Amino acid sequence: MKKHEHNRDKLHAQIKILQQSLQSTEATGQIVDRDNRKLEDQMNLIEDNIMKIHTSAKTLIENVINRISEHKTLEKKTAVLLKQAQACYRDMEEKEIERENIENEVARVNIDTLNTTSQIEQLKLKKREVSEERRKKEETVTTYELEIRQGHDINEKKQKEVNKLIKGGRLHPF
Q: What is the CATH number of the domain that holds 10?
A: 1.10.287.1490
Range of the domain at 140: 2-162
Identify the residue with better confidence: 94 or 60: 94
How many angstroms from the chain centroid is the CA of residue 118?
9
Q: Report residue 74: phi and psi, to 5°.
A: -95, 115
Angle, helices 2-71/75-168, rounded to nearest 10 degrees: 170
Q: What is the mean pLDDT of the chain?
A: 86
Please check whether residue 113 is in contact with residue 39, taking contact to mean a CB–CB distance below 8 angstroms: yes
pLDDT in tens, 107-138: 999 999 999 999 999 999 999 999 999 999 99
- CA-CA-CA-CA torsion sign (50, 56, 62, 64): negative
pLDDT in tens, 52-80: 888 998 898 888 777 767 756 666 667 77
- Tell me, yes or no, whether 174 lies in a domain: no
Instruction: Report pLDDT for 72.
Output: 61
Q: How many structural domains comprise the chain?
A: 1
Predicted TM-score of the model (pTM): 0.37
- Tell me, yes or no, whether 92 lies in a domain: yes
Length of the chain: 174
- Tell me, yes or no, whether 167 lies in a domain: no
Number of CB atoms found within 10 A of residue 55's CB: 10
Read off the pLDDT of each residue in 7-23 and give the average, rounded to a whole number: 83
Q: What torsion, rounded to 10 degrees, do the Cα atoms 158, 159, 165, 168 define?
A: -140
- Which residue type does 98 have? E
pLDDT in tens, 16-50: 888 888 788 888 888 888 888 988 888 888 888 88
